[in-house]
Amino acid sequence: MQQTSMTPRMPRSIPSIALAAPVAMTFALTLLLPSKALALTSVTMEQLRPYFFDETVQRFDAYIWPAYAMAFVENAIQICFWAALLLFTLNASLMERCLCFTESLGRRITSERLQRLGAVLSKVWGDSTWAAAILFVLAYLAIEQLLFLPSSFYFGWVREHQFGFSVQSLPSWLWDWTKGFVFHAISMSALVFGLFGLARRHRKWWLLLGIPCSILMLGAGVLDPLRTKMFRDDEPLPTGPVREAIVATLTKAGVEYEDVRVLKMREISTRVNAFIFGVGPSRRVMLYDTLIAAMTPDEIANVVAHELGHLHDRSLVMNLVGSLLLTPLLWFTAWLLRALGRRQRFGFDDDRDVRALPAIFAFLFALGAVLGPIQAATSRYRENRADDYALDLLQKPEAFRSMMIKLALINAPDLHPPLWMQFQWKTHPLVIDRIGRAEAFAKARGIGLTAPTPEHFALPEDFQKRLTLRAKALQTEVVSTE
């Protein structure tokens, strides 16, 4: 096939260098840092023994390792999906079908109101291909969701039940999954219409979009309550020792708030969590009802104090820098898509072409993989600071330590992940390090702590009952893997 492109072609090596350079730089940077600065720890069974039964650690491993393996499989499926679309130009064939379908659909629509709406959208977009563009995104998302449905179902429902983390019924799980998909489909359609519509009109769309989006990113926290509300109901936390402990913590920290509320998670999950959202006096503290069932008021106060630590740590300057990076990222994406499109090999023309969507996702995935270690290390650093804040604020290292252990017993994190795993993914410090932090804090201030034994950190009996199913499932798993 002869290429008759009139535009001067850039040397083949430039996009490759542009892609490889940040990858190499990141790895060089992260490898230069000593593992202490990265907060990576190799954990031995001996270190865990005062706090966890050996059997508990083994159960967690039985739960976690297949999930790690599946994450790799899912990534492989994702990469193959993009590769199939781009390398075999299936994206172009899919788009052709979408064009045919929307054209024939357009001819059949008789409603005057719909025709008028279509005409307005065509005017905004530049021509009538907007409908095909949206259909393309929807088809893309639907295929992708179907590809991942078996593993989502197995890991999100079957396995979570086997291990007793989830008590959600199948219809409820499917309803959540559907809501998630619809939400995703609507937001992606709007995004694609806006993004490519803008790119079709302005060469410098990345600038026009980057600046307002940076501002929006700064205020994105405002949407948190809406997002949570879509999935679960909440109600005010009734008066009692838990409420008293939390109000005392908030007062001590000098934080304004509107309410302390409980999120009804009991009927779907046995995991625990808490978070704070909103700004100023409209701020809300949200606790999972499972957290209240599992922990003492002092332990819950420590969870809230940790979240307050994040709030305290939130720096406007850092957020500003983060959000301002969006514009250069968009510029680079535009440049990359034009460079790749010029080759006429990947089924799209340039950054104005919706068929470039899989390339954009693939690029963001690669970027995420490269930035993963940096993001994880930054996050671990922030978590440590939030822990320090909580210890300082409440001065209750005993409750902090038992909170950390109970949290681990319930949420089953990897207690001794390999270093490479921590390097790439671990956004939180290891449980053993967080326990160590509380113990060091107590030692430095002459606060006595009880001698740790796994029995000492047992969960309350009624909560333990909820986990019996999980324990049983885990038991059989351990036996069968031995």
Give the range of 22-30, 382-390, 440-448, 454-462 binding Zn ion by CB under 5 A: 382-390
DSSP character at residue 275: E
Whether 304 and 252 have beta carbons less than 8 Å apart is answered as no
Phi first, then psi: give them for residue 341, nearest 5 degrees. -60, -35
Q: Where does this chain touch Zn ion (CB under 5 A) — which range of 63-71, 227-235, 377-385, 445-453?
A: 377-385
Nearer to Zn ion, 359 or 386 (CB): 386
With contact defined as beta carbons under 8 Å apart, do 105 and 131 qualify?
yes
Given the rule CB under 5 A, which of 151-159, 251-259, 378-386, 437-445 is the region that contacts Zn ion? 378-386
Least distance to Zn ion, CB of residue 379, Å? 8
Q: At closest approach, how far in Å is the CB of 428 from Zn ion?
A: 7
**Nearest-approach distance from CB 18 to Zn ion, in angstroms:** 35
Q: Least separation, in Å, of the C-beta of 304 and Zn ion?
A: 11
Place of tokens 């179902």: 153
What is the smallest separation between the CB atom of 300 and Zn ion, expressed in angstroms?
15
C-beta closer to Zn ion: residue 292 or 386:
386
For Zn ion, the closer CB: 300 or 386 = 386
Distance, CA of 324 to CA of 327 (rounded, Å): 6
Residue 243 in 3-state DSSP?
helix
Q: Using the rule CB under 5 A, give the single segment among 39-47, 250-258, 385-393, 419-427 that binds Zn ion.
A: 385-393
Nearest residue to 405 (alpha-carbon basis) of 366, 459, 363: 459
Output 284 or 380, the one with its CB closest to Zn ion: 380
User: To the nearest whole angstrom, how small is the minimum distance from the Cβ of residue 187 to Zn ion?
Assistant: 26
In the chain, helix, strand, coil percent, each to 5?
70, 5, 25
Residue 101 burial (C-beta neighbours within 10 Å; 0-12, 13-18, 19+): middle
133: Cα separation from own chain's centroid? 27
- Residues in the interface with Zn ion (CB under 5 A) total 2
Measured from the CB atom, is 386 or 473 closer to Zn ion? 386
> Least distance from C-beta 367 to Zn ion, angstroms?
24
Give the residue with the Cβ less far from Zn ion, 276 or 337: 276
Among the candidate windows 18-26, 339-347, 381-389, 410-418, which touches Zn ion by CB under 5 A? 381-389
The nearer residue to Zn ion, 131 or 391, going by C-beta atoms, is 391
Helix (H/G/I), strand (E/B), else coil: 378: helix
Instruction: Single out the segment in contact with Zn ion by CB under 5 A; choices: 36-44, 318-326, 386-394, 398-406.
Output: 386-394
Nearer CB in complex with Zn ion: 336/390:
390
Three-class HEC string of 436-461:
HHHHHHHHHCCCCCCCCCHHHHCCCH
To Zn ion, the closest distance from the beta carbon of 95 in angstroms equals 43
CB of 383 to Zn ion, least distance (A): 5
Name the strands in the sheet holding 274-277, side by side, starting at the edge strand that comes first in the sequence: 234-236, 259-263, 284-288, 274-277
Give residues 251-310 in contact with Zn ion (rule: CB under 5 A).
none
List own/partner pairs for 106-113 with CB under 8 A and 24 or more apart.
106/131
Is-contact 337 324, C-beta < 8 A?
A: no
Which residue, 353 or 383, has its beta carbon nearer to Zn ion?
383
Of 195 and 386, CB closest to Zn ion:
386
Which range, of 190-198, 262-270, 343-351, 379-387, touches Zn ion by CB under 5 A? 379-387
Minimum CB distance to Zn ion, residue 413 (Å): 13
Taking the C-alpha atoms of residue 263 and residue 285, their distance in angstroms, rounded to an integer, is 10
Q: How many CA atoms lie within 13 A of 475 on its CB side?
A: 6
* Interface positions with Zn ion (CB under 5 A): 383, 386
